[in-house]
């Protein structure tokens, strides 16, 4: 079936889903745009409800057992967050993970983010977590939808390649303690340089917002407080940059 009208009900639905997080939540679906992102999504086992393809922008689409609609270019540009740059967009019913769903190895490496609010930061952390082969990313008390189109875009689909869970701070602390995973909080106060801390055992690296840092429950639950030494005039890095540094220190230690 080919869709050429901007007034088509399917087009209106996709536009609304892309713009309204409340509608995505109530319907239990998300919007995935882009070939790489959709391929990662399908490979991770999420259910594609419907796919929309603009053949003038993309020759072929991923193999998927779902309805696939050919759309005119102006229709695609109306539906898509990124206009005419990708050529494929889909409505997806995601698998929502809980802490108990995580299948962790003997010495897991986990990134925990508290109250992250900028989708671009979370997306960048997810890309680093994928590159470092972290076992999970846990977002405590999130201030943004984990499947926000901005997060899917900025992570280049890493939201689907790394197990990602949203929960409360208390739930996460209880889970980490129960599984004997050491808690390393990134903070300036009472801390040691990150490279002086053993990360070869099960480790959760916990990071807060750049403006307020971590809340007191995390500071009290921590087994170690770590910091990235700052040699310039400023006292902090972007949370995604800090996460990458700490993740790859853990990788370095585990490979040495």
Residues 126-157 have pLDDT tens digits of 999 999 999 999 999 877 788 988 899 899 99
Q: Indicate yes or no: pTM above 0.85.
A: yes
Specify whether the CB–CB gap between 87 and 80 falls below 8 A.
Answer: no
Give buried/exposed letters for 132-157 (b at 16+ CB in 10 A, else e).
Answer: bebbbbbbbbbebbbbbbebbbbbbb
DSSP string, 52-80: EE-TTT-S-----SS-EEEE-HHHHHHH-
pLDDT of residue 83: 60
Number of domains into which the chain is organized: 2
Which residues pair with residue 31 across a beta bridge?
Answer: 91
Tell me, yes or no, whether 86 and 22 share the same domain: yes
pLDDT in tens, 105-117: 999 999 999 988 7
Mean pLDDT of the chain: 92
Among residues 93, 110, 126, the one where a domain terminates is 93
pLDDT of residue 84: 57
Our separate counts of H helices and E strands in the chain read 10, 12
pLDDT of residue 52: 96
Tell me, yes or no, whether 84 and 120 share the same domain: no
User: Of 152 and 188, which is predicted with more confidence?
Assistant: 152
Tell me, yes or no, whether 54 and 77 share the same domain: yes
pLDDT of residue 69: 96
Domain that holds residue 132: 99-255
Tell me, yes or no, whether 123 and 179 share the same domain: yes
Q: Which two tokens stand for residue 222?
A: 């921590």
Tell me, yes or no, whether 76 and 184 share the same domain: no
Tell me, yes or no, whether 82 and 201 share the same domain: no
């Amino acid at each position: 079936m080919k869709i050429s009208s901007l007034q088509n009900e399917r087009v209106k639905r996709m536009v609304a889903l892309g713009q309204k997080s409340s509608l995505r939540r109530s319907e239990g679906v998300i919007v995935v745009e882009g070939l790489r992102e959709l391929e990662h999504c399908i490979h991770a086992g999420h259910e594609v409800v419907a796919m929309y393809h603009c053949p003038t922008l993309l020759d072929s689409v991923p193999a998927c057992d779902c309805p696939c609609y050919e759309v005119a270019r102006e229709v695609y540009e109306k539906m898509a967050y990124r206009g005419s740059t990708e050529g494929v967009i889909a409505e997806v019913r995601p698998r929502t993970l809980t802490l108990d769903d995580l299948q962790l190895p003997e010495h897991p490496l986990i990134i925990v983010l508290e109250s992250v609010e900028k989708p671009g930061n979370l997306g960048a952390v997810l890309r680093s977590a994928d590159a470092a082969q972290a076992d999970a990313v846990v977002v405590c008390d999130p201030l943004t939808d984990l499947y926000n189109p901005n997060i899917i875009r900025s992570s280049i689909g890493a939201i689907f390649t790394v197990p990602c869970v949203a929960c409360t701070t208390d739930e996460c602390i209880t889970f980490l303690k129960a599984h004997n995973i050491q808690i390393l909080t990134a903070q300036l106060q009472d801390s040691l340089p990150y490279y002086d801390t053993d990360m070869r055992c099960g480790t959760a690296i916990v990071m807060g917002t750049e403006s307020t840092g971590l809340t007191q429950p995390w500071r009290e639950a921590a087994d170690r407080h770590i910091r990235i030494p700052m040699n310039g005039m400023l006292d902090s890095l972007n949370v995604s940059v800090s996460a990458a540094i700490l993740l790859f220190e853990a990788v370095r230690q585990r490979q040495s």
